[in-house]
Amino acid sequence: MHQLDREAPVYIAGHRGLVGSALWRHLEANGFTNLVGWSSSELDLRDRAAVHERVRALRPAVVIDAAARVGGILANHTYPAEFLSENLQIQVNLMDAAVAAEVPRLLFLGSSCIYPKFAEQPIREDSLLTGALEPTNDAYAIAKIAGIMQVQAIRRQYGLPYISAMPTNLYGPGDNFHPRNSHVLPALIRRFHEAKESGAASVTCWGTGTPKREFLHVDDLAAACLHLLEHYDDPQTINIGTGVDQTIAEIAEMTAAAVDYQGDIEWDTSKPDGTPRKLLDVSRIKATGWKPQIDLQTGLSDTYRWFLQHASEVRG
């Protein structure tokens, strides 16, 4: 592989989301001068004809698919039909349009929830499709698995060097802090912040606190994406993570420390835990010369500062 042309058009689908906005920041900082993104009001990625027309007119050198309908356990459990249907539509439309426009390079971003619920830990890329999925997000996972398969099919049929990557749990500036539809870290940040503001003596978190999770700062993910586009060309998907995990209880304590919440942490064990452990094997991406730079405590403090600066926008 070789260095991407910094002046050629790069289309980031989902450029306003957590991942897309981090990609935009990172590529801009690395000298890319022709970044393109359309908001959902400008281009509905579920509209096949419109997607084909835009991609054909732009003829980007690179397409990065960071667009998805996403959410935490509750959102996945409540809206499985939309999570399956909309994610399938988005990625099929984007990849078909890229092939039709002869886009030379594409990166499809999935999610570590694609792996079997009881996959051997840490999870290697070849564990894909070897067991049952976590029921709380199986619809979303199936859509993302279909995306990986489409990348592989395009490579076989058209010989295009399209790639897919599977990030672990992400967090950082631009996250969704909605009280009901957010992922665990932004939900914890918001809960501890509001408890601090109200002087609450304790905060109740879901589950037992025993599951283990790995978290990657979204700016590290963005750096990994550019690295892969310039150094990776393989049909097999590739994991992006830290290779380190903590229990949810430890993560809650770290979040409380970042927010400076002094009260107690209690656990509602009637609520679901989700997958018991989800740690990615990151040996393959590390072998390409990439590693994360932002440790969790530093990243949490950084994310909390962003939350405070944008509090009026993230109330939800």
- Is there a catalytic annotation at residue 140? yes
Q: Is 277 annotated as a binding residue?
A: no
**Catalytic option among 140, 171, 232, 304:** 140
Q: Is 167 annotated as a binding residue?
A: yes
Q: Is 290 annotated as a binding residue?
A: no
Find, among 172, 184, 289, 183, the residue nearest to 238 by Cα. Answer: 289
Distance of alpha carbon 91 from alpha carbon 154, whole angstroms: 13
Q: Is 299 annotated as a binding residue?
A: no
Q: Are 76 and 137 in contact (CB under 8 A)?
A: yes
Q: Is 105 annotated as a binding residue?
A: no
Q: Is 315 annotated as a binding residue?
A: no
Q: Is 20 annotated as a binding residue?
A: yes
> How many CA atoms does the CB half-sphere of 282 hold within 13 Å?
23
Q: Is 19 annotated as a binding residue?
A: yes
Distance of alpha carbon 170 from alpha carbon 181, whole angstroms: 15
Dihedral sign (CA 214, 136, 106, 239): positive
Which helix (H) or strand (E) segment is 286 a member of? Answer: helix 283-287
Q: Is 296 annotated as a binding residue?
A: no
Q: Is 14 annotated as a binding residue?
A: yes
Q: How many CB atoms lie within 10 A of CB 287?
A: 9
Q: Are 259 and 196 in contact (CB under 8 A)?
A: yes
> Could you tell me which residues are annotated as the binding site for substrate?
191, 206, 213, 273
> Could you tell me which residues are annotated as the binding site?
14-20, 109-112, 144, 167-170, 183, 191, 206, 213, 273
> Could you tell me which residues are annotated as the binding site for NADP(+)?
14-20, 109-112, 144, 167-170, 183
List residues with catalytic annotation: 140
